[in-house]
Amino acid sequence: MRRHLLPIVCSLLVLLPLMFAHSCANTTQAPSGGDKDTIPPYIVNIKPYPGAVGFPTEKQKIVFTFNEYVSVKNPKSIFLSPPQAKQPKNRIQGKSVIVYFEEPLEPNTTYTLNLGDAIADNNEGNIFPGFTYVFSTGEQIDSMFTTGTVLDCNTLLPVKGATVMLYKNHADSAVFLERPYAAARTDDWGYYVIPFIQDTLYRIYAVMDGSGNNIYDPDEDRIAFIDSLVHPKWAVADSVPELLKYDMKDTLGCEERRVERTLNLFREKPSKQYLKNKERTGLRSAYISFQAPYVWIDSLWFGGFRADEVISQFNPSQDSLELWLNSRKPAPDTLHLFVNYRKTDSTGVLKPELEHLRLPIDQKLKRKYARTQRRNLKHEDTLCTFKLDAKPERVEQYGFELEFAQPIISADFDSLHFRYLNPKRKEFKGKVKIERDSLNLRCYNIRPEVVMQPGYEYFLKVPHRAFRDINGFYSDSTEVKVALPSDDKLSTLSAILSEVNGKYIVDLLDEKLKDILRSYTIESDCTLRFPYLKEGRYCLRITSDLNRNGVVDTGSLLERRQPELVKFVLFRDGKFLEVPPSAEIDQEINIQKLFTDE
């Protein structure tokens, strides 16, 4: 019975969009007025008709005829599943788009051809909403389908344009070596549907395929995978909404589509290690980066300078290194950096390698530093420069934030003056605690040892010559004042965390998910306060730090290891918390439940 219904289903998949398009407007004649044409083109005929079987494997074409003249704006959006080594080709003939293939098709195989957003009308550029054409080189059309979403593993935002791949070959190597049995690309919502597939078991992957070859390249592409084999559970039918084309602005319709599984896209640790980039950043500073994280460096030095004159700092993932020379010796126009590290050889094994890097100074930098040798020096040219800041809404957690432009070689933190005034203008002296940033050797947090209170004013003064940098320059004096926010319209969120079994990173973000407003690392049940929030939308992101290294670690396909889990706390109305003015908000969060619920 199902086999007899398939031609009807395939026809409906064509006719329903056409019926909808006809209901929008009468487009059989040109507009009589001056209004801009906003109606997209629609298909009036297809040859061979959708659902064709016995489709020739060679020298065949599919003709899509439209109601008006069109052009192919984005040929890469024309996607064939199963994909071939070469993209489908196309040409325009009158009002028709002819799609053809440069390689023979596989025998006894069901194919789908998705037009995506490739086609637009000639006059106004209105985009054709897309269409999926199905045909078979065998005697029948496969009848199952599967759906899901692809999300970024860190932000959990939908990923558009990822290629979701199904493999009947269950070997781990298949995604590296073979093209998939069936595939589809995700839409604006990160949603995919792979229709007309066999009722069998598959491996499923999602790849952000930069080269467009439908094969995973671990050094270039991001990937997601499901740990277990998947089995499609739904059959194609004329009542299935997931198989229709949706306006991406139709939020209600797009969100109501069934999601069978979710894949979290991540970038693997590169398989090859080598020195990738180099840059001279200053008279006595440079920067180098490597292809893979956690580089193994045996030694490094600058020619003409002692090894103990080199100051270095890795980034958190240890794939880039900042370097400074702590020496009064004149720096040459070209620095010679020697790096002895473990590099991947042609057999994939890490072997010791000594590389000699020449780092010439940029002419703009040369002119800037040459100015310090002239008589008309400006005062700022001979200073140890730094930035001292204290943000009212952050000062309780982070204190005064001090960042130097260059590493310092001497510091007199005991000379700092901290004082504060109460609301009656009475002055007090206080002590501060100095903490060096664990990730940036040029940054320090200076935290008052008093409990900060509303209505008080707090001052931190850096006296003249308190610090000296690697250029031999001393700092100037400055003073910064801060007070806790006093706006009574500000709100406070208290996150009450329970069943904390492990280490987690808790971030408060704005609604754009770009700026981390506050961050905590926790290892036990606690209550975290997020005070001084303006009216608006916020979200809480919680990351499971399984290996307790303070870094969100990526996954590994061959090791079948997913990236460390990221979860967003779901508030009453979804991911975002609507914070009204002058509110005290308590939010209970059961960590164990958050990370076990799907």
Contacts (Cβ under 8 Å, ≥6 apart) of 5: 237, 238
Question: What is the DSSP secondary structure assignment for residue 335, as one 8-state letter?
Answer: E
> Which sequence spans correspond to the domains of the chain?
2-136, 144-265, 275-369, 381-482, 491-596
Using 50, 70 and 90 to split pLDDT, how confident is the model at 151? very high
Q: What is the pLDDT of residue 29?
A: 42
Least confident window among 14-28, 78-92, 285-299, 417-431:
14-28
How far apart CA 67 and CA 119 sit, in angstroms, is 13
Q: What is the pLDDT of residue 515?
A: 83
Does 243 score more than 60 pLDDT? yes
Strands of 144-240, DSSP E:
144-152, 163-167, 182-185, 191-197, 203-208, 222-225, 234-235
381-482 and 275-369 share a CATH fold: yes
Domain at 381-482, CATH class: mainly beta
Domain at 275-369, CATH class: mainly beta
| For range 55-59, the mean pLDDT | 92
- Give pTM, 2 decimals: 0.75
pLDDT tens-digit readout, 16-37: 444 343 333 333 344 445 567 7
Would you say how long the chain is, in residues?
Answer: 598
Q: Using omega within 30 degrees of 0 as the cis cutoff, is the peptide bond preceding 82 cis?
A: yes
Q: What is the pLDDT of residue 538?
A: 93
Q: What is the pLDDT of residue 378?
A: 65
Nearest to 527 by CA among 449, 484, 586, 572: 586
pLDDT tens-digit readout, 452-506: 999 999 999 999 999 999 988 999 999 999 999 989 899 999 999 999 998 999 9
Does 7 score more than 80 pLDDT? no
Q: What is the pLDDT of residue 271?
A: 82
Q: What is the pLDDT of residue 192?
A: 96
Nearest to 556 by CA among 224, 291, 290: 224
Least confident window among 136-150, 227-241, 558-572:
558-572
Q: What is the pLDDT of residue 371?
A: 53
Q: Which residues pair with 93 in a beta bridge?
A: 96
User: Regarding the domain with residue range 491-596, which homologous superfamily does it belong to in the CATH classification?
Assistant: Immunoglobulins (2.60.40.10)
How far apart CA 228 and CA 203 sit, in angstroms, is 7
Q: What is the pLDDT of residue 576?
A: 85
Domain covering 144-265 in this structure, CATH number: 2.60.40.10
Least confident window among 22-36, 410-424, 437-451, 560-574:
22-36
β-pairing, 222-225 vs 203-208, is antiparallel
Does 15 score more than 60 pLDDT? no
The CATH architecture assigned to 2-136 reads Sandwich (2.60)
